[in-house]
Chains A and B, each alone.
Chain A
Amino acid sequence: MSRSLPAQAGAPAYARYRAPVLEWALWMALVGAVYSQTGYFDTEIPEYAFGATGWPRALCLATAAGATGQLLTRLAALRRGEPAVASPANAPVPATPPTLWEQAKRLAIFLFPLLYLYAVPTLGFYLATPVFVLGLLLILDVRSPGALLGVTGVVCALVLLLFTRFFYVALPVGQPPFYDINNAIIVIARMGL
C-alpha cells in the first residue's frame, strides 16, 4: 500500500485521478475495439434470436459496466481521501533508480524470448535453443562458465531425450541451410532406436 503514497504526496490533486481514468479509458478502448469487430460476423442464426453477436456484445457491455464501476468506486474513494489502490506488493521499490544497464536487462527479459520465437522458424528449434538458454542465463546474471555450459548442456540434453527421442514431438527444423543441421541433431538423438 505504501508504494503509491510518496508519489502522491507532492503531486497536484488532478494527478491522483489520472491513473484510474487512464485505466478506464484503456478498458473502454479495448471494449470499443472488440465491439467494432463484432460487425464482421453479424449474421442471423436460424432459430436463435440473439445471433452470433449477442453473447460477445453482452460481454462487451458487461466489461464496460465493470470498468465504469471500478472507476466510480476509485473516484469515490479518492474523494473520501483514501489512498489510491496500489499495485500488489509483488515488486518492492528499490532504494535507487535503475541504471541504464539494469533497464536494458529488464527490457531484455521481455524481448529476448520474443527474438527467440522469431528466430526458431528459420534457425530451427535445435539450433536456436542452446543460444536461447545461454542468453537467458546471461540475462539472469549467471556468469560462471561452468554453470553456463552445464545448465545449457543439461537442459538441451533433457529436452532432446524426452521430447525428441521418447515422445517424437515434431519440433520446428527451420529453413535451409539450418534444416539439414536440425535433422542431423534429430538423427543423433534417436540413434539406436
Chain B
Amino acid sequence: MEPFIAGTLNLFGDPQALMIFVLGLVGGMLFGAIPGVNMLTLGAVLLPFTISMQPEHAVMLFSVIYCAGVFGGAITAILFNIPGAPENAPTCFDGYPMTQRGESGKAIGAAVSCSAIGGVASAVLMMTATGAIAGWAVRAFGPQEIFALIFFGLAVSASIGASTLWKGWLSVFAGLLIATIGTDPVGGVPRFNEGSLLGYEYSSYYLSAGIHFIPMILGFFAVSEVIAQAMNIARGTRERPKAGLEFPSVAEFLAVRWTMLRSIVIGFFAGILPGIGATLAAFLGYSQAQRWSRNRARFGKGELEGVVASETANNAATGAAMIPLLALGLPGGALTAMIMGIFQIHGMEPGPLIFMTSGDLVWITFAAMFWANLFIVFLGWVQTKTVVHILRVPFRWLAPGILLLAIVGAYALRNLFIDVWVMFLAGIVGYVMRTTGYSAAGVVLGLILGKLGESAFSKSMQLMDYDMLGFFERPIAGVLIALGIGAIVVSIVNEIRGAPAPKALMD
C-alpha cells in the first residue's frame, strides 16, 4: 500500500506529471473515439517526444493512453459500428443495435462503467501480484499453452457475428489465410509474394511484408459501414438512429454482475499472455457471456450484457498486459511494444530487477493506471453527454469525414497508398460479407491471431517431436484443447439439428 500511496503522491504532487497524466487520459479517449485514428496513432506521434521526458513520465503517459484508448474505441463502436481498435470489435455486436434503438447513452454508459471496473480490478491485481503472476505465467505457459488458448478462443468465438456456424468458421479461416501472406514465422520464407494465377504473373514487395490488420479493420468496419449506410440512403430505407442520454440503472448493473466478474477473470488472464491480450479477451468475454446468459437469444440485437462483457474484458486486459512487460520485458501488443521502446530509448531494461532499480517508475505507472481507470468514469460520463449528440448530425454529412479519417489512418500507418487500396477492397468485401451472413469480426480475429497461432504451433510441434497428443501431456494445454474440441463438436451438432441460437446474431 505504501508504494502505491507514494506513487499517487508523485503523480498528483508533481505538476508536470499531472499535466502528462491529463494529456494521456484526454488524448487516449479522444483518439480512441475518432474513427480512423486510434491510441496507436497517438502513441506513434508522441513516441519521439519521449526522448526529452523523464522515463517515469514517458512510461506513465503511454500506460494512461493505453487504458483510455481501449475505452475510447468503444464510443465509435457503439455510435457508428466502427470499433476504434480490434479489442472493441465485439462491442459493435450489441452496442450498435442499442444505438439504432435509441439507447446509445445506455450503451456508452455501460461501456464507461464497465471499462472503469475492469480496468481498476486489473490495476489492483497488477499491483498486488505482478511478480508472482509473471513467474507463474512464464512457467506454466509455453508455446503449447499459447496455441491451445488461441485454438480454444477461436473455437468458442468463431461464430460470433455470423449467421451460421459454418459462415463463422469460414470467416475465421479466411482471416487465418490472409495472415499467412508475408514471411513465415519459422524460417522467414516469403509466402504469396510472387507466383502466377490464370496466366498472370505477379511479384510484390508489399505482399512480402504481409497485410497489416489496421487497414483491414478500417475497411471491414468503417468503409463497409459507410457503404452499407450509403446503400440504405440510396434505397431510401435508412433509419436515423436516435440519440439517447439515459444511463443504465443500478438494477441493470446488478443484473450483469456475474458477467462483469467473469469478464474480469477472462480479460486478466488473456491479457497476461504476450500477443493475445485484449482482443481475444474481448471476444472470449463476449462469447462466454452469451453462453451463460439467460438472454442469449437477445445477443446481437442490442443486449446490454454483450457491451458489458466485451468492455469489461478488454479493459481488464490492460493492467494484465503490463505484467509481462514490466516483470519480464515481454510486450504483449503494439502499444506495450512502444513502452518497451521508451525503456530502450532511456537505456533501461524491464525485467524482475526493475522493481528494485526503478521502483518510482513502476509505482507511478501503477498509480496512474489505477487513477486513469477511475477518471474514465467521470470523463466518460461527460463524453456520453456530449458525443452522443454527433448522432443528430445527418449521416450523409458525416460519411465523407469518416472515410477521410479512415483513408489517412490507413495511409499514415506505413506511408503506403496501397494500404488505402487494401482498406477499400476490404470494405467492399466486408459489405458483401455482411449481406451474405459472413462475419467481418471473424476475419479480423483470424488475421490478428493467425501469425501468433502459427508461430506457437510450429514451436509446439518442434518441442513435442511432431506428436499431436503431446498437447494432452501438459494439463493446461490439454484442458484447453479438449474444451475447444468439445465446443466445436457441440456447435456442429447444434448446427446440423438446426438450433437457431447462432442465427439470432444476424436476424
Question: What is the CA–CA distance of A85 and B167 in the complex, to the nearest angstrom?
Answer: 11
Q: Are A139 and B230 in contact (CB under 8 A)?
A: yes
Contact in complex: A89, B408 (CB < 8 Å): no
The number of residue pairs between A and B whose CB atoms lie closer than 8 Å in the complex comes to 178
Q: Which residues of A contact B173 (CB under 8 A)?
A: 59, 62-63, 66
Q: How far is the CA of A76 from the CA of B495 in the complex (A)?
A: 11
CA distance A90 to B232 in the complex (A): 9
Quote the shortest CB–CB distance from B475 to chain A (angstroms): 26
B492 touches A69 (CB 8 A): yes
B176 touches A133 (CB 8 A): no
Q: Would you call the interface of chain B mostly helix, strand, loop, or mixed?
A: helix
Select B396's contact among A94, A117, A142, A170, beta carbons within 8 Å: A142
Contacts of B191 in A (CB 8 A): 38, 41, 52, 56
Give the distance in Å from the alpha carbon of A59 to the alpha carbon of B192 in the complex.
Answer: 14
For this complex, into which size category does the number of interface residues on chain A fall? Answer: 35 or more
- Assess the A109–B170 pair: CB atoms within 8 A: no
Partner of A45, one of B189, B234, B496: B189
Q: Which of chain A's residues have a CB closer than 8 A to the CB of B194?
A: 40
A187 within 8 A of B: no
User: In the complex where A89-B507, A155-B404 touch, is A70 in contact with B164 (Cβ < 8 A)?
Assistant: yes
Contact across chains for B237 and A94 when beta carbons are under 8 A apart: yes
Q: Which residues of B contact A43 (CB under 8 A)?
A: 187, 189
| Interchain CA distance A137-B396 in the complex, whole Å | 7
Q: In whole angstroms, how far apart are the Cα atoms of A121 and B418 in the complex?
A: 11
**Separation of A102 and B405 alpha carbons in the complex (Å):** 27
B57 within 8 A of A: no
On whether the beta carbons of B234 and A90 are closer than 8 Å, the reply is no
- Nearest-neighbour CB distance to chain B for A12, whole angstroms, equals 23
B146 within 8 A of A: no
User: When chains A and B are docked, how far (Å) is the Cα of A55 from the Cα of B460?
Assistant: 13
Q: Provide the residues of chain B in CB contact with A137, threshold 8 Å.
A: 396-397, 400
State whether the Cβ of A6 lies closer than 8 Å to any Cβ in chain B: no
Does B399 reach chain A (CB closer than 8 Å)? yes
Distance of A26 Cα from B109 Cα, bound (Å)? 43
Q: In the complex, what's the smallest C-beta–C-beta distance from B15 to chain A, in angstroms?
A: 24
Smallest Cβ distance from B371 to chain A, in angstroms? 27
C-alpha gap A76/B210 in the complex (Å): 39
> Can you name 18 A-B pairs with beta carbons within 8 Å?
A23-B436, A39-B195, A46-B187, A49-B461, A51-B189, A52-B184, A52-B189, A67-B170, A69-B166, A73-B495, A85-B164, A94-B237, A110-B227, A110-B428, A151-B397, A155-B404, A167-B45, A171-B408
Residues of chain A whose beta carbon lies under 8 Å from any beta carbon of chain B: 1, 23, 27, 33-34, 36-41, 43, 45-52, 55-56, 59-60, 62-63, 66-67, 69-70, 73, 76-77, 82, 85, 87-92, 94, 98, 102, 105-106, 109-110, 113-114, 117, 120-121, 129, 132-133, 136-137, 139-142, 147, 151-152, 155, 158-159, 163, 167, 169-172
Given contacts A52-B184, A155-B404, 4 further A-B contacts (CB under 8 A): A129-B404, A136-B399, A136-B403, A137-B396
